[in-house]
Structure 1
Amino acid sequence: MTTDLTPLSASALEGLRTEFDQRADNRLAMNAVTSSGIAPVAHNYDRARLLQHRFSVTVDNGKVTTQAHSGRCWLFSSLNVARFVARRALNIDTASTSNPSGDFELSQAYAMYYDKLERSNYFLNDAANLVRAGEKTDSQLMQFLLSDVMGDGGQWIMAMNLYKKYGAVPKQYYPETASSQNTGPMNTQLRSVLHQAVAHMAADPASIDQIVKDSLAACHRILTIHLGTPPTSFDWEWTDKDGNFHRDGRITPQEFWKKYINAGLEDYVCLVDDPRSEHPKGKKIGIEHLGNVAGGDATEYLNVPNQFMKDCARTILSEQGLPVWFGADCGPMMDRDGGQWATDLFEYGRVYGFDFDMDKEQRVRFGDSAMNHAMAFVGVDVADDGKTTNRWRVENSWGDKIANDGYFAMSDDWFTEYVFEVAVPKSMLPAEYQKAFEEPAIMLPAWDPMGTLA
């Protein structure tokens, strides 16, 4: 029993109660919050009404998608970028009564099927190597990998690993299923297979190769039972925005990706804002044991100033007319129904009488903030001076029943505080940043907050 901790005494508790009762605004806050909840009470009306859904630059990507009860935002957002490219290549406009082809989406279930299969293989081989090397099953590393396995999250680089290897298919050829829209039960079964595999490896190291083979086969069966058999080819036909019918014949997912989508997306790199002072800007960061496709590109990113990320995103939107994939900590200061993010959108401190004063570095360092959601920028509002950014338009994947038909408005100061990662063409980086990608990465442990998945 720990004896050097100070107990909460009756007198101390009475002092807290007395202090609370001495301030009339505490009781007013209690009455309001117990009746309505904290969000409506803390909501900053003035800030909300001034954060408009109007933008000087807009990239129209049509009806928003919905990831349902799953954590596939990184796949939805990367495929939202890809579908914009495909729409342009196919001359497909956004949906209308006369143009049903405008509802065009790329199958997120197809990408998830191969992500889960590849991630199972990645984990099994990684765990096998660790067991062979003598890693204890109760070590911090092994316990973290076991606890973190088979979530739905991912990164841009992981998505590109999938598309490079397996391509993409229009959604009608591999639609959503009950399990793709609610991944929890399927993930539980996959996770149990992988946990059991490590248990068997530890008990019988001589049989590791067979354990890996049998466990991967079990994961494949589970995935196919839950999601169906993904197509290896399909007959592709569509009607363009001018009413012209096209038929491309039999095509593989890989051929479809290369012909209609790639457009340089495979050459994108990831920029991150790691605010911790010990991690210098202009240096590449990697995360140990993080990946999905064995033999694919490593999950690495270049640590850059937040303003540089903004500049790149603005340039891509305004000059290239393309959406920009990004990852953020989406929870703080978010009005989900109104579709808004701003650093002062909720005045929690005023309600509680407490000053929340941590900066971005402290929030990362002390476990208060990390990337947990991926979306796409599809617009930006720039002031008349051509320099000041007011707000950003965000395509989310939470359906069109919230926000502005599913699109959000983000203040520029919220970008500073809570956006952690953007994917950009490597060619747009200055020479010193391009060179930095050729240098070895500063490797961070598997549990580092920069390794969290959207």
Structure 2
Amino acid sequence: MNRSIEAAQLESFESDFQRDPAKRVAQLAVTSNGVNKSATDPFVQREDRHQFSVQLETGKITNQKGSGRCWMFAALNTMRVEVMRRLNLEHFELSQNYTLFYDKLEKSNYFLETILDTLDEPTNGRLIAHLLQAPLNDGGQWDMLCNLVEKYGVVPKDAMPETACSSSTWEVTSYMTRKLREFACVLREGHAAGKTAEQLRNQKEVMLCNIYNMLCIAFGNPPKTFTLEVRDKDKKFIRDEGLTGRTFFEKYVGWDMGDYVSLINATTADKPFHRTFTVKMLGNIVEGRPVKYLNLPIEDLKAAAIRQMQDNQPVWFGCDVGKCSIREGGIMDLEALRADQLFGTEFGMNKAQRLDYGDSMMTHAMVFQGVNLDESGKPTRWRVENSWGKEAGVDGYYVMSDDWFNEYTYQVVVHKKYLTEEQRAELEQAPIELEPWDPMGSLA
């Protein structure tokens, strides 16, 4: 067999294609309509109904628009439920622009500190290349949100509304990324030229001021204090003056963020179940809460999520939303897109293989707002609150089949009281450190 493609091979391939009428029919469909539209199976909606035996109602659908803040929207959407209950509100929304501002600022500092910690690493080595790849993307992890909330609190959306740049972040993020890479260059070259650690840190202070200015120009200045003004379900007007982000969170959310823990389902050989993990150099606040996961079988993630929803509390989760998912009708089902039948080939890797070979990882965070349990108490489908506006799915909601959960859900966050006694004990283990480029270090 020759290493290069020969003319005879091309003739053989073409003959094989022409002999099969089904390939010609598939060609006509795909060239006219595209792959996913041609591969969509409309009959899955018979099983994936938007009806659930456990269903929460938690306010209007939100819209992250042209930003990658799904992890932030999902987390704030779980918190707003508590605000709505305490204030007897029909709807409420927390400011995603406020947490975005401080996340960008803290990530910039985290990046520059990481550069200072790795000054002797080769510029063309894997570690520095990884750090420079995306020092300031929009994505994040649950523990990063905990860091932001514990340091800065949260504010109502009208205290720091959206701007053009918060709703479409790519422009300002690209300019800030350029500056951070330039700053990394300045620090590393300064080190090579013999500058002291104190001199480099003084430079970093000036750099952070530059970043702060860019953030204020793009997102507005975050409020130091604000007044809460709302009208509740009974038409009672409520005013609370002189609040800060932290006092608002303490008074109207009141969670101990340390009580909420991340459970993952990573089935690769290097990640045994019932062990905890962290990821090197992954975070947003220096000396903040590190990312920490407890790896469990998928059924354990489901059980904890169900217990929390049965207690009328939504569940933050992370998944690979782009696989076997259709926007129209809001379906996440292994049978939703039959690309295998369309192309006449199987997509045969299992969950562990997809992680190992870069075919899947967590790409998006959303909120579980319900689940359908059969007569034996087993889940058959899950209700998903997305943050892509009401036009996506059915009024902003998706339905996820239980089989899809098995294959493409990677993380759920629950209060630790919904874990078993054994699982709570497992959480106390010192975490195994994963490399910065490990797939479980991906950001939603």
Smaller-chain TM-score range?
over 0.9
2-structure distance, mates of 1:400, 1:64? 6
- Does the aligned pair in 2 maintain the 1:85–1:263 contact within 8 Å? no
Match of 2:68 in 1: 71
Q: Aligned pair 1:39/2:39, yes or no?
A: no
Match of 1:211 in 2: 203
2-structure distance, mates of 1:114, 1:177? 15
Match of 1:314 in 2: 306
- 1:14, distance to aligned residue in structure 2 (A): 1.5
- 1:266, distance to aligned residue in structure 2 (A): 4.1
Q: TM-score, normalised by structure 1?
A: 0.94
Q: 1:163 aligns with which of 128, 141, 149?
A: 149
Match of 1:25 in 2: 22
Q: 2:400 aligns with which of 396, 403, 410?
A: 410
What is the identity, as a one-letter code, of the residue corresponding to 2:52? F
What is the identity, as a one-letter code, of the residue corresponding to 1:285? F
What is the identity, as a one-letter code, of the residue corresponding to 2:161? P
Q: 2:106 aligns with which of 93, 99, 118?
A: 118
Q: Structure 1 residues 55, 265: CA separation in 2 closer, same or farther (over 3 Å shift)?
A: farther
RMSD in angstroms over aligned alpha carbons? 1.3
2-structure distance, mates of 1:200, 1:135? 15
- Greater displacement, 202-211 / 188-197: 202-211
Match of 1:91 in 2: 88
- Does the aligned pair in 1 maintain the 2:278–2:431 contact within 8 Å? yes
Matches within 5 A, 1:281-430: 281-318=273-310, 320-385=311-376, 387-430=377-420
Match of 2:172 in 1: 186
Match of 2:431 in 1: 441
Q: Aligned pair 1:277/2:269, yes or no?
A: yes
Deviating above 6 A after TM superposition, structure 1's stretches of 4 or more consecutive aligned residues are none
- Does the aligned pair in 1 maintain the 2:134–2:177 contact within 8 Å? no
2-structure distance, mates of 1:237, 1:182? 28
- Tell me, what secondary structure is at the counterpart of 1:392? strand
Match of 1:97 in 2: none
2-structure distance, mates of 1:126, 1:156? 21
How many residues are treated as equivalent by the alignment?
A: 438
Deviations 1:356-401 (A, max 9, x none): 111111111111000000000001111122x221100000000001
2-structure distance, mates of 1:181, 1:415? 29
Q: Structure 1 residues 265, 56: CA separation in 2 closer, same or farther (over 3 Å shift)?
A: farther
2-structure distance, mates of 1:209, 1:423? 36
Q: Structure 1 residues 120, 21: CA separation in 2 closer, same or farther (over 3 Å shift)?
A: same
What is the identity, as a one-letter code, of the residue corresponding to 2:118? L
- Does the aligned pair in 2 maintain the 1:164–1:266 contact within 8 Å? no
2-structure distance, mates of 1:379, 1:426? 19
Q: 1:255 aligns with which of 226, 240, 247?
A: 247
2-structure distance, mates of 1:294, 1:217? 17
Deviations 1:375-430 (A, max 9, x none): 00001111122x22110000000000121100111001100000000111123322
- Greater displacement, 106-115 / 422-431: 422-431
- 1:265, distance to aligned residue in structure 2 (A): 4.2
- Greater displacement, 66-75 / 204-213: 204-213
Match of 1:109 in 2: 97
- Does the aligned pair in 2 maintain the 1:327–1:373 contact within 8 Å? yes
- 1:450, distance to aligned residue in structure 2 (A): 0.5
- Greater displacement, 35-44 / 442-451: 35-44
Q: Structure 1 residues 262, 137: CA separation in 2 closer, same or farther (over 3 Å shift)?
A: farther
- Does the aligned pair in 2 maintain the 1:282–1:303 contact within 8 Å? yes
Q: Give the share of equivalent positions with the same residue, in percent.
A: 39
What is the identity, as a one-letter code, of the residue corresponding to 1:398? W
- 1:284, distance to aligned residue in structure 2 (A): 0.5
Q: 1:13 aligns with which of 7, 10, 13?
A: 10
Deviations 1:162-202 (A, max 9, x none): 01110011001100001001101111111111101111112
